[in-house]
A = this chain, B = another copy of it.
């Protein structure tokens, strides 16, 4: 606060989108992480890998990395943990031995069969106060921000 205390000078973190978005997302993520962790001993990264494999059948680490934008080390560790628990199977790709094809095992499928409804229920409880239209709009706004962010980063 100096002499030229123009209104533009004051700054309220609560009105700053990156902060608000991040703190909301963090809280949601942590709450959900506790659920995965306590009920199924999974990290968030592991859950994401499982969910993508459920969605796409077969993927390589790179494809998961691209889909989730997670760091490759993080993906690598998540995959290791899941393989150790025999929730996924890892097989060198026949035409390129550097890559490994990842797939859910039967145990992995079974776990997801429990997990997905839990996750869905939790999300439903969270978004209960939003109308369908508002929910849709929220996704739409996030998508626009993502596109813009990609532009800013390039």
User: In the complex, which residues of chain B have a beta carbon less than 8 angstroms from the beta carbon of A116?
Assistant: 9, 11
A127 engages B145 (CB within 8 Å): yes
| Chain B: CB-nearest residue to A10 | B55
- Describe A's contact surface by its main secondary structure: helix
* Oligomer copy total: 2
Q: In whole angstroms, how far apart are the Cα atoms of A135 and B144 in the complex?
A: 11
Q: Does A16 contact B128, Cβ atoms closer than 8 Å?
A: no
Interface size class of A (residues with CB under 8 A): 35 or more
Is A94 at the interface (CB under 8 A from chain B)?
no
How many whole Å from A14's CB to the nearest CB in chain B? 8
Interface string of A9-31 (1 = CB under 8 A from B): 11111011111111111111101
Known pairs A1-B109, A129-B145 / 10 extra A-B pairs, C-beta < 8 Å:
A11-B55, A11-B112, A11-B116, A16-B123, A18-B32, A18-B123, A18-B126, A24-B145, A27-B146, A31-B149
Question: Chain A: residues with CB nearer than 8 A to chain B?
Answer: 1-2, 9-13, 15-29, 31-32, 48, 51-52, 54-55, 67-69, 109, 112-113, 116, 119-120, 122-123, 125-130, 134-135, 137-139, 141-142, 144-149, 152-153
